[in-house]
Amino acid sequence: MENNLISLEDSHQRLHNYLRISITENCNLRCTYCMPAEGIVLTPKPHLMTADEIVNIAQTFVNLGVTKIRLTGGEPLVRKEAKEILLRLGKLGVTLTLTSNGILIPDFIPTFKLAQIQTINISLDTLIKDKYNQITRRNYFDQVLENISLTLKEGFQVKLNVVLIKGFNEDEILDFIALTKDKKIQVRFIEFMPFTGNQWDKSKLVSLASILETIQTTFPDCEMEPLLAAPNDTAKNFKIKSYKGSFAIISSVTNPFCNSCNRIRLTADGKLKNCLFSNSETSLLEALRAGQSILPLIQQNLYLKKAIRGGMDDDLKFQNPDLFMQNRSMIAIGG
């Protein structure tokens, strides 16, 4: 079957041009919302995609119309071949970016530039060292702050991913906004989402409405400027008018953006997920290694994509652990 007969459009007429590739399940942190406290059973190395297989599958998607690729993990930079993979994907003519916890960034600055990466998402859920150690179960806080400053100094656009959890860090919303006063940085507040092993329940949710309410206690509407959303944007974007940076809210729980979704995910073991919340997967790697075309599998997987959050289309379903516990943990999906 020829590429031009394959469409990255699903049955709801959503066109998918953004591929997120997890290149490892390993991570040098143990964030509570991402990984169970006891860790996960890692996929044996022979069942993970090699660097050649990652590039091969990525090239197939680019041929089909993908224009943006994001590398995720685990922590993508802990993979031994991370530099090679970045450089090879950087030659595919797409917008290439990644999400990182920021720990290993200094070693990769030259590689990022050679791969023509312009934007880097760095996960940082608190500005308080003790709380950072608590949620990550590791002690890299000072190093990550230094590396964020370095990344900005080197000319990259930095987006900070902040997962908000009630009772843990919702009292830091205004402190994160303050970061944008003198730094051209975007803070992205992300609603806490349910996955296997992360002890999610709705009482821990800090919603879009409550985030805005907190911000408006200090900054009235006249000081908050809504920013024009990019096509297929998952975030509602704002800035304080006199500040250099901006902030955004990603409300996957209370205000999902499924109707304009253009994202597909490839796990480190080569399985295609058409939605972050879907518990169904299609193994592209198995077919690739058998010498079979992966094109029909891609089209079939996309055609089966549900209209909303993997079929959890109402609040009762979304809060039902029997449904979301069938999915992988976040670290095994790729953020």
**Secondary structure class of 166 (helix, strand, coil):** coil
Closest among 138, 135, 101, 146 to 120, alpha carbons compared = 101
Spatial separation of the C-alpha atoms in residues 76 and 161, rounded to whole Å: 16
pLDDT of residue 228: 87
Amino acid, single-letter form, for residue 133 = N
pLDDT digits (tens, 9 = 90+) for 260-270: 899 999 999 99
Tell me the pLDDT of the chain (335 aa) as tens digits.
345 567 899 999 999 999 999 999 998 887 776 666 666 678 889 999 999 999 999 999 999 999 999 999 989 999 999 999 999 999 999 999 999 999 999 999 999 999 999 999 999 999 999 999 988 988 999 999 999 999 999 999 999 999 999 999 999 999 999 999 999 999 999 988 665 544 556 778 899 999 999 999 999 888 999 998 888 888 899 999 999 999 999 987 777 778 889 999 999 999 999 988 787 899 999 999 999 999 999 999 999 999 886 656 666 656 666 655 555 555 566 66
Spatial separation of the C-alpha atoms in residues 308 and 104, rounded to whole Å: 36
Closest among 259, 176, 248 to 212, alpha carbons compared = 248
Residue 137: CA count within 13 A, CB half-sphere: 13
Kindly list the distances between the CA atom of residue 116 and the CA atoms of 59, 90, 193, 197, 214, in Å, as whole numbers in the listed order: 17, 6, 31, 36, 37
Beta bridge partners of 160: 122, 187
Spatial separation of the C-alpha atoms in residues 30 and 137, rounded to whole Å: 6
Beta bridge partners of 226: 238
Residue 274: CA count within 13 A, CB half-sphere: 26
Q: Which residue has the tokens 């066109």?
A: 15
* Residue 325: other Cβ atoms inside 10 A: 14
pLDDT digits (tens, 9 = 90+) for 34-87: 666 666 678 889 999 999 999 999 999 999 999 999 999 989 999 999 999 999
Q: Do residues 55 and 9 lie in contact, with contact meaning Cβ atoms separated by under 8 Å?
A: no
pLDDT of residue 320: 60
Interior CA angle at 17 toward 7 and 278, to 5°?
85
**Helix (H), strand (E) at residue 96:** strand 95-100
Spatial separation of the C-alpha atoms in residues 86 and 185, rounded to whole Å: 23
**Helix (H), strand (E) at residue 99:** strand 95-100
pLDDT of residue 195: 55
By CB atoms closer than 10 A (0-12, 13-18, 19+), residue 119 is middle
pLDDT of residue 313: 63
Closest among 212, 216, 133, 121 to 168, alpha carbons compared = 133
CA-based R_g, the chain, Å: 19
